[in-house]
Structures are given as C-alpha cells and as structure tokens.
Amino acid sequence: MRLDKLLCHATGLSRSQAQKIIRRLEVEVDGVAVRDPAMAVDAATAVVWQGREIKLSGPRYFMLNKPQGVVSATVDAQYTTVIDLLDEGNLRGLHVAGRLDIDTTGLVLISDDGEWSHRITSPRHRCEKSYLVTLTDPLDDSLVEQFAAGIELKGEKGRCKAARLEPLTANTARLIISEGKYHQVKRMFAAVGNHVVALHRERIGGLPLDETLAEGEYRALHEEEVRLF
Ligand code: URA
C-alpha cells in the first residue's frame, strides 16, 4: 500500500493532508524521514508520525441503540446521523448495515467491513430482523396466517417472504421478517389496513440489542458477535 494511503486509513487524515505531512518530512519509515507519499509500505513497515506508530486497525464493528430523530445515513445536512453518535477518532469507511427510519428506534449495526454488512443486508442471505410494533388498531387473529402466507405490498409485484407475527397485547406485536424492503414493516401493516405508531428493532439474526445500552449509546461487538454473520 502507498504510504499516504496508510496514513489516511489509519488516522482519518485526507489524502492531501497526508501528502503534505509526508512532504514536510514529518513521517519516518523504518527510522528514516521520507518525502515520497507513493512509497510502498506493508504491515511489517514501522511508520511513525508525531512520535506515534501508525498502524492500520482491523475492521470495526459496533451496535448502537438508535433514538428517534436520528437518521441511518453517513452524513446528513439536516439531521444527526448514527455515525455522528460514534465517539471514534477515525470514522472512515463506517456505514450502517441495514437502515432504520428516522422514527424507528433500536438495534443498528455499524461497520467498515463491507462484506460483513452485505451478509446482513443482502436478500440472498435472508438475515432475520425482529421488530416490536405498536399499532393504532387492535390486531385481528387472522393476521398471523396472513403474514405467514406473505403480505402483498402496495405497488409491488409478488408477495413478501413469510413473516412471523406474534401478538403481544391488543395493539402490540413482535414481527420477524427476513427481508429489508423500504419501510417494509409499516407497509406490511398498511396493506392489512392498520397503522404503525411505534417501531423498535430488537434483534438482527442471532444478535439481540444489548439492553444495557441507553438510547444513543453504542459499543463494539465482541468477537463471537461479529462471527454470527
Ligand atoms: N420497516 C419499517 O417500516 N421501518 C423501519 O425502520 C424498519 C423496518
């Protein structure tokens, strides 16, 4: 890898900032100040800047408890994003593995490992997502079967994949789906004449939201949690 690229990835500096500090002879490679941003380095090269060894960190994985009013984007001109809630020096490459609507709360996974995120979001992998749903109107008993048979969404050909609906109270239910169509849960209930007033994601695949995380808080995933996907 090029020296300037390593500096960008490891520190969050822009490519032009990295090139400037290299040209100012601020960076040492194997003990010698170097001037060439294109110099080839690898994992065995000792790169030092400001007295600190510069190393590429491995991929990063986080879970966050998303509050309402926060968008699942990387940048947004108007709203706070889930990435803004991370207190990490270097945010480069971090993205959301499966978005939630601005008014949906709960589990959001964030990583800079694109292949890992793809296994969560790609329809081919059929990763389950479990939601707690609050509705305006009482649930009717026939819905469990209708959801299992596949709901037809307005404006879409074909049915949704079978979904598991578990009524909890008259107006609340757990819904488990294995796809991630746009506004899917809200549209599924709209298709049966009901309306979602609150939505919370409690689980993705085998990974539940850590209940010790207050809204807006996040933590790194443990190794065994990363390996679930
Ligand atoms: N389905 C929705 O309608 N909204 C979400 O945020 C997630 C799933």
Pocket flag, ligand 1, residue 27 (CB < 6 Å):
no
Q: Tell me, rounded to whole angstroms, the distance of Cα 217 from its chain centroid.
A: 14
Strand partners, 172: 134
Q: Which atom of ligand 1 is nearest to the CA of 99?
A: 6
Pocket flag, ligand 1, residue 175 (CB < 6 Å):
no
Told to judge if 101 belongs to the known catalytic residues of this protein, a careful annotator would answer yes
Rounded to two decimals, the pTM is 0.81
Three-class SS of residue 100?
Answer: coil
Per-residue model confidence as pLDDT tens digits over 79-97: 999 999 999 878 889 999 9
Cα 75 from Cα 91, distance rounded (Å): 11
Three-class SS of residue 28?
Answer: strand
DSSP class of 182: T
| CA-closest residue to ligand 1 atom 4 | 183
- Based on C-alpha coordinates, what's the Rg of the chain? 22
Per-residue model confidence as pLDDT tens digits over 12-54: 788 899 999 999 999 999 999 999 999 998 877 889 999 988 8
Whole-angstrom distance between the N-terminal and C-terminal Cα of the chain?
Answer: 28
Ramachandran angles phi, psi of 189, nearest 5°? -70, -35
Domains parsed from the chain with CATH numbers: 3-53 (3.10.290.10), 59-126+209-229 (3.30.70.580), 128-204 (3.30.70.1560)
